[in-house]
Amino acid sequence: MTCIVLTSALSLGQLCRVSVNQSIRSTGMGLSCVKELQHRTLSCFAQNQSGVLKHTHKHTEGSTGGWSQTTLSNERRTVVGGGTRGLFGRGGGGDQPKQTLEDVARRIRERDHCRIVVMAGAGISTPSGIPDFRSPGSGLYDNLQQYDLPYAEAIFEINYFHHNPKPFFALAKELYPGNYQPNATHYFVRLLQDKGQLLRMYTQNIDGLERMAGISPSKLVEAHGTFSMATCTVCRREYPGEDLRADIMSGTVPKCSACKGIIKPNIVFFGEELPHNFLLYLTDFPLADLLLVMGTSLEVQPFAGLVGAVRGSVSRLLINRDPVGPFSGGALRHNDVAELGDVVGGVRKLTDVLGWTQEMEALMAADRKKQQSPVCHLLGHLRNGT
């Protein structure tokens, strides 16, 4: 494997930024060129990253990679890492001291970690009442039989959408932003942002709860898309997501006012290219000084592969129901920490150790009060057509 040797993380970040900017500006250079881009700039990246910039999925019989609110255990387990070599440097040998949740919290509190990258999946949204996709019996995929789909994942496949968009819009009515409220996991990330310690949050979720919690769009990479914008599938005219709400809530497939084509929310379907700002990972992950992974099965590529893109000297903290990805096998680094069990419970434990509990509760209470104001109630009724 050929690696580019750089003298500092900053020079690596500068190189990445030049490459990202060039790719975005260059006419006709879309996300499909990332394989070449990676080999030119970050050829040390894991092999399963190369050339994978479309939303892909795998079906594993009996897989339980999703999240079920009813099956989450209150049991808490903290697992510390082993001693394998890191991707961008030495991840630590077996003789190096193992990191703990308290160690990570101390460095956050003392602002040694000021470029924190967060990766999040459906497990941070199920505590808000949103059903996940894969949990047997309770996941969305298991409850889609009423739509007579050839297989559950077809509801998010672009070719099937062009054939029959009604199942997706029936699901969109359930998932549309505004139906659910953020929880402690979202507000913890908001606190990181407010304290100037959040570099970026990469989320697999399409529910919009990160935005509702006050996380700035500039700090968000919604890897699987967003309902905040929509695009006509024929003439490519763009629409604000709110313009589709009335149709979606009434069970009507939204149509373009210009050409009568179907308007599709900017959700990334299997077979579609990821959002352009996903390329920010080329800059963000080499610059990160802490990676926080929450509520994800790390099964969907290329999102799942990002966990290996931080430097080997960077601590990775997993707050999850189960060990996943490198946390589940022999690829643990000495500075990896896994806080296993209920995701919200894990976040609250970290918040307690940090001494931020009172601050986070005040933030959540202020947001709840704002959402319960008469103006917000009126807007909610108008949005739902009631």
Three-point CA angle 364, 303, 280, nearest 5°: 80
Cα gap 307→301, rounded to integer Å: 11
94 CB-contact burial (10 Å; exposed 0-12 / middle 13-18 / buried 19+): exposed
Three-class SS of residue 246?
Answer: helix
Beta bridge partners of 318: 293, 338
Beta bridge partners of 157: 270
Three-point CA angle 128, 131, 137, nearest 5°: 140
Cα gap 126→75, rounded to integer Å: 18
Asked whether residue 44 is marked as a ligand-binding residue, the answer is: no
Three-class SS of residue 87?
Answer: coil
For CA atoms 85, 100, 320, 313, the dihedral sign is: negative
Asked whether residue 16 is marked as a ligand-binding residue, the answer is: no
The enclosing H or E element of 29 equals: none
Task: Supply the DSSP string of 126-184, one letter for each residue.
Answer: GGGT---SSSTTTSGGGG-GGGT-SSGGGGGBHHHHHH--HHHHHHHHHH-TTSS---H
Annotated catalytic residue 39: no
Beta bridge partners of 270: 157
The enclosing H or E element of 245 equals: helix 242-249
Cα gap 278→55, rounded to integer Å: 11
Asked whether residue 33 is marked as a ligand-binding residue, the answer is: no
Q: Which of 224, 276, 334, 377 is catalytic?
A: 224
Find the length of the chain: 386
Binding-site entries: 232, 235, 256, 259
Binding-site entries for Zn(2+): 232, 235, 256, 259
Residues assigned a catalytic role? 224
